[in-house]
Amino acid sequence: MELRITEIFHSLQGESRSVGVPTVFVRLTGCPQRCVWCDTEYAFQGGEKRSLDAILEQVDGFSARYVTVTGGEPLAQPNCLPLLTELCDRGYQVSLETGGAMDIADVDERVSVVMDLKAPGSGEQHNNRLENIPHLRPHHQVKFVLADRRDYDWARFMLDQHNLTARVSEVLFSPVHGQLPPGELADWILADRLPVRFQLQLHKLLWNDARGR
Ligand code: SF4
C-alpha cells in the first residue's frame, strides 16, 4: 500500500483547536481544487511514493502525540483512509485537514476532521460538498478562510443555514494572509457576537510560511 507524499515534518500546529502543540505533519501530494490564495501549491504535483510502513516508521521517529494529515487534498488519495486508521490505532491524536470537496463519510471516527468550506473569494465555492455536513461530528472543526467582507457575510449565512456552531466543537475564521487585515475580521466577529474562533496561522508569524515548518 503506497501514498504519494510531499513532505513529513515536525513543527508546531499552526491553526485549529490544537494550535501551538508539537505535531507531525504528513503532507500528501495532489489536490483537485485551485483556491486562488492557496499557500501549498508546491504540493499539487511531484512528491514521492512511499509505503504505508515507511510513512508510519518516519512518523514514529518524531515521538510526538499529535499527527496532522494534510495536503494538497489528502482525501484525493484513497489510501489516506487506511493511513488515518493506522495512526489512530497507534495511539496518536490524529487530525485531517481537508478542503471540503471530497467525501468525509468513511474517515475513521477517531480522527478530528478540520473541514474547509470555501468562500466565494477562493474561486472554489462551487466545489463545496454540502453532503458532508450531516457527517460532521462534535469533535470535528469547520474552517472558513476569508478574503473580504463578502466572504465574511457568506460565512455568517452558512453558519445560520447549517447550524454549524451546534454541529462541531470549533468553527474557525481566518483572514487570507496579506489580503484581509486581521484586525478588520476580528472587529466584525466581535460586532456580530459570532461564536467562532478567530485564528491567525502561527507558522506564518513564526517562520513566514517557510516550507517544512
Ligand atoms: S484545497 Fe487546499 S491545497 Fe487545494 S487548492 Fe485549496 S487551499 Fe490549496
CATH of residue 40's domain is 3.20.20.70
Question: Quick check: CB of 36 below 6 Å from ligand 1?
Answer: no
Q: Say whether pLDDT at 17 is over 90.
A: no
Ligand 1 contact, 71 CB (< 6 A): yes
| Residue 210 pLDDT > 80 | no
| Number of domains the chain is built from | 1
Domain, as residue range, for 181: 2-207
**Cα first-last separation, the chain:** 27
Q: For ligand 1, say whether the CB of 114 is within 6 Å of any of its atoms.
A: no
Q: 68: which 3 cell numbers? A: 496532522
pTM here is 0.95
Q: Does 72 have pLDDT greater than 80?
A: yes
In a domain, 23, yes or no: yes
The pairing of strands 112-116 and 48-51 is unpaired
Going by pLDDT thresholds of 50, 70 and 90, the confidence category of residue 4 is very high
C-alpha grid cell, residue 87:
495512526
The pLDDT of residue 206:
83
Q: Is 72 annotated as a binding residue?
A: yes
Domain assignment present for 213: no
Q: Is residue 212 part of a domain?
A: no
| 105, 133, 147, 178, 203 from 210: Cα distances, Å | 33, 33, 22, 15, 8
211 pLDDT more than 80: no
Q: Which atom of ligand 1 is nearest to the CA of 37?
A: 7
